[in-house]
Structure 1
Amino acid sequence: MRKTHSPAGAPPEAPSLPRLAAASLAGTAIEFYDFFIYGTAAALVLGPLFFPTFSPLAGTLAAFATFGVGFVARPLGSVLFGHIGDRRGRRPVLVGSLLLTGLATVAVGCVPTYDSIGTAAPVLLLVLRFLQGLGLGGEWGGAVLLTAEHAPAERRGLWASFPQMGPSLGFLLANGIMLVLSATLTDAQFASWGWRVPFWAAGVLAAAGLALRTSLAESPSFLELREHARVPLAEVVRDHWRLVLLTAGALAVGYAVFYAVTTWSLAYAVERLDVSRTVMLACIMAAVVVKGALTPVAAVLGDRYGRRPLCLLGCALSALWMFPMIALLATGEPLLMFLGFLVAMLAFITMFAVIAAYLPELYEPRVRCTGAAVGYNLGGVLGGALTPIVATAVAQGEGTPWGVAAYLTAVALLSLGCFALLPETRPVPEPAPVTA
């Protein structure tokens, strides 16, 4: 976005919020497309291609382990890019994180399989997945803060929810391409080259995203700071460590629910229930469509009633719904599975629609990019990295995998307790002056 000039003595004209929100949404959609396409590939095809000497179960666990490495890298990315964001501005973060994630994703699509280069294949996969996570760790903080810090306080939740819709769009795009390839290619074609196509497409998407982001204006909150933190991470660890731990624990349930639905259930239903991958992708995508559409609605409720009440409600719904969701998944019936996924996604978005406004408001501006991003991405390690691995491990036996439901319920209760200890941050409008 080009800076506009005002007459001498007048304040600079505020940037167009719709255009800023659209650019942030597009960028997060592209970066999460890159991240999600790996998760779908891990559930469907990476095990036998990169870990062929393992049993089917062990191969899936190994593929999910490389998937989890991306989550471990995300807090490191939030530290790296958060330092840049708090020292140099939010805008450079958006460009650097998108470039890194896009290049790593394209490279994943070029890695030869185990049959071609042996153990170097999974090692390369691991390294590139780490780089993906490193880039995504910086993405969320930059995109959300740039939008949230431009938005008026009374509508901050609504405007900050636009980058929060990016993950839904990225997921739908990633899985939509996988769905088309899965429906049109034979199993042999899909395993040979079809799975690589979505990774190559990331290059085109990254180029489009960079064209949008290089013209964005810097955040006003950053420009108004008279003194920037010299080492933002040190200040966060020293002065805000309790807040970081609470936000990480609070957000763990959102990641756990989302990746239980979108990654673990996909592998479980295809391998254990003999449901076709096309049917599973369609069920999951339909639930994510509703989630994405309702994101701004939940954000408006957060602006009106507060961030914390919606987060507590989402945690409670998650805790109550995990056993019914697993029971519906175990039926293998598309409509029942969709119902289970839908309610879970509604509980998820009740929390995560307001997080983009909530987390920045919890941290002071000088360390906001580092603190909010580190807390957000540590929650991803607790909930996102572990869930597919733990769920696959505890669902080995015959019958309904109640152990998965128990695990997800426990995570929801942990997050409920953490949210209960966090303060409300919604700005309270000042009362109108009384006139005689």
Structure 2
Amino acid sequence: MPFDHTRPLNRGDYRTLALAALGGTLEFYDFVIYVFFAAIMGHVFFPPHSPEWLVQLQTYGIFAAGYLARPLGGIVMAHFGDLHGRKRMFTLSILLMALPTFIMGLLPTYADIGIWAPVLLLALRVLQGAAIGGEIPGAWVFVSEHVPARRVGFACGTLTAGLTLGILLGSLVASAMHARFSEAELVARAWRIPFLLGGVFGLLAVYLRGYLQETPIFKELAEQRALLAEWPMKRVLASHRGAMLLSMLATWLLTGGIVVVILMTPSLLGKLPGIGAEKALLANSLAVVCLSIGCVLAGSLTDRFGNGPTLFAGSGFLLVACYGFYSQIAAHPDWLFPGYALLGLTVGVIAAVPCIMVRAFPATVRFSGLSLSYNLAYAIFGGLTPMAVALMLKSDPQAPAHYVEVLALMGMVLGLALCARRRQAEPDGLKAT
């Protein structure tokens, strides 16, 4: 039977969204826990007595390697996802994430094996990047094809909130570790605990994914024999370059919100007088909670008002909140919690990004088109952003703010472009063909 795009959400939809979001939370924890211990990892895996800026650059370079590996994993998994089913790749990606994370917790250090320590860490980070390259696009496609077209925004927002809660889980674990262990104990051996825990989380996520069903839209394509006989990526590159460009620019905005505001800012705040590392991590936890709320809100607003208006207004709020927070926090450290919470809420506009992307490609190449666009953009912008901002900070103390503000302006322009295109042709939602 054709999929009913007009029905309301039912119990099965909510169950699918809950399981997908929870699995995404556990897997994304595995991917981001590295950044919360970046400073410690730098001391453990690189030569002692190196300049602080060099250690930071090397550590974030390995962080970037995970992003640079995303396109390869995304392309391979999306290829099989478009031809053989979304669910299989959705489950495989978690397994490929859990194993490297667990092994990271067992790695010998630079003091044990010298240069081979960062080499092994780099290899495992590459495997993590390949796994997450298939997970996030596959998750967005999976949930969007399970719900009626008029609730795609809510589904993508909920899933994105689940992914961001993986950051919260990482932040809480990092806070607990810093509270329980001294800096010397963390450097000595306690840093391993979060990675070993991540491996356990990943196996739990694999178990949860076993309860999910293949998407109705993919089943409909298979029944109609409408699946592509050719390589899906070839069709994307030949016929959907405009959708790719739009998706890549939108992803650039997403990278700024996550990498700079959520992942990098706690370590920068921790160096300010009157704040410190522990307080910065607690404020980051609050910001991520607000980010998750903002994701569900922004996704729901796209269902009500459309992608363009939501992206335009949300990017505007992000611009204002970003300027206010970064320009005032050094002089007013008592504004840390409310300011960071508001900033996190406005970063929730990133939930409009998957809504834009899943509607930009037809179902036959949706996984491949979204995966190639998202992962290629994230590899370029997400991978290089930490190093670029770190280098900019040497001459511009407001570098994080300026970087995100420029992306917010770009988001407003994209929102206006989507509004204009919507007036020309109203989108009809997700379909099987």
TM-score (norm 2): 0.89
SS at match of 1:112: coil
**Deviations 1:305-342 (Å, cap 9, x if unpaired)?**
11221112222233344332222343471x42334433
Query: Measured at CA, do residues 412 and 83 of structure 1 come closer, stay the same or move farther in structure 2, by a change above 3 Å?
Result: same
2:45 maps to amino acid: F
SS at match of 1:16: helix
Give the C-alpha shift of residue 16 in structure 1.
1.0
**Equivalences for 1:289-368 in 2 at 5 Å?**
289-331=289-331, 333=333, 335-349=334-348, 351-368=349-366
Partner of 2:47: 52
Partner of 1:186: 182
1:343 maps to amino acid: L
Residue segments in structure 1 that go unaligned for 5+ positions in a row: 1-13, 430-436
Does residue 147 (structure 1) correspond to residue 143 (structure 2)? The answer is yes
Does residue 384 (structure 1) correspond to residue 382 (structure 2)? The answer is yes
Give the C-alpha shift of residue 271 in structure 1.
4.4
SS at match of 1:384: helix
Partner of 1:161: 157
Alignment: residue pair count: 411
Check the 8 A contact 2:29/2:169 in 1, yes or no: yes
Partner of 2:276: 276
**Equivalences for 1:41-190 in 2 at 5 Å?**
41-42=37-38, 44-53=39-48, 54-190=50-186
Distance in 2 of aligned mates of 1:168 and 1:70:
18
1:195 maps to which of 181, 191, 195: 191
Distance in 1 of aligned mates of 2:273 and 2:257:
20
Partner of 1:245: 245
Distance in 2 of aligned mates of 1:147 and 1:64:
32
**Deviations 1:141-194 (Å, cap 9, x if unpaired)?**
222222111101222211232211112221111111111110111111111122
Distance in 2 of aligned mates of 1:119 and 1:332:
43
Structure 1 residues 54-63 or 258-267, which shifts more?
A: 258-267
Distance in 2 of aligned mates of 1:427 and 1:420:
16
**Deviations 1:190-245 (Å, cap 9, x if unpaired)?**
11122211110112211211111123211111112223222111111111123212
Check the 8 A contact 1:95/1:214 in 2, yes or no: yes
Distance in 1 of aligned mates of 2:186 and 2:78:
39
Structure 1 residues 54-63 or 416-425, which shifts more?
A: 416-425
1:121 maps to amino acid: A
Partner of 2:6: none
- CA RMSD in angstroms, aligned pairs only: 2.2
Query: Measured at CA, do residues 339 and 390 of structure 1 come closer, stay the same or move farther in structure 2, by a change above 3 Å?
Result: farther
Distance in 1 of aligned mates of 2:340 and 2:428:
35
Q: Percent identity?
A: 30
**Deviations 1:18-46 (Å, cap 9, x if unpaired)?**
1111111011111110111011111x311
TM-score (norm 1): 0.88
1:374 maps to which of 348, 372, 375: 372
Distance in 2 of aligned mates of 1:169 and 1:412:
23
Check the 8 A contact 2:309/2:416 in 1, yes or no: no
**Deviations 1:365-398 (Å, cap 9, x if unpaired)?**
110001112222233234422222112111125x
Check the 8 A contact 1:269/1:332 in 2, yes or no: no
